[in-house]
């Protein structure tokens, strides 16, 4: 688990990532599951319940 703020700048390794951004839980839920880590929706469900 990582801690961050929405206004925090992200500095990805350009050799590994084409782009990065913060996602809301609603955006994750609405996204095509094939574009996400397969465990991300399950993890978010646990975080919300937790």
Residue 14 lies in a domain: no
pLDDT value at residue 15 = 95
Residue 5 lies in a domain: no
Q: What is the pLDDT of residues 15-43, one digit of tens each?
A: 999 888 888 888 988 999 898 888 988 88
Residue 49 has a pLDDT of 85
Q: Report the alpha-carbon distance of residue 44 to residue 24 in Å, rounded.
A: 10
Q: Which domain holds residue 44?
A: 19-50
38 lies in a domain? yes
pLDDT band (50, 70, 90) for residue 1? low
Residue 45, in any domain of the structure: yes
For residue 45, the model assigns a pLDDT of 85
What pLDDT is stored for residue 20 in this prediction?
87
DSSP secondary structure string for all residues of 1-50: -----TTS-----TTT-S------HHHHHHS-GGGS-TTHHHHHHHHHH-
The verdict on residue 7 lying in a domain is no
Specify the pTM: 0.59
Count of domains forming the chain: 1
Distance CA 44, CA 3 (A): 14
């Amino acid at each position: 688990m990582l801690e961050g703020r929405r206004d925090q700048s992200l500095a990805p390794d350009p050799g590994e990532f084409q782009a990065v951004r913060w996602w809301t839980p609603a955006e994750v839920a609405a996204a095509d599951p094939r574009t996400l880590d397969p465990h991300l929706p399950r993890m978010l469900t646990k975080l919300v319940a937790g």
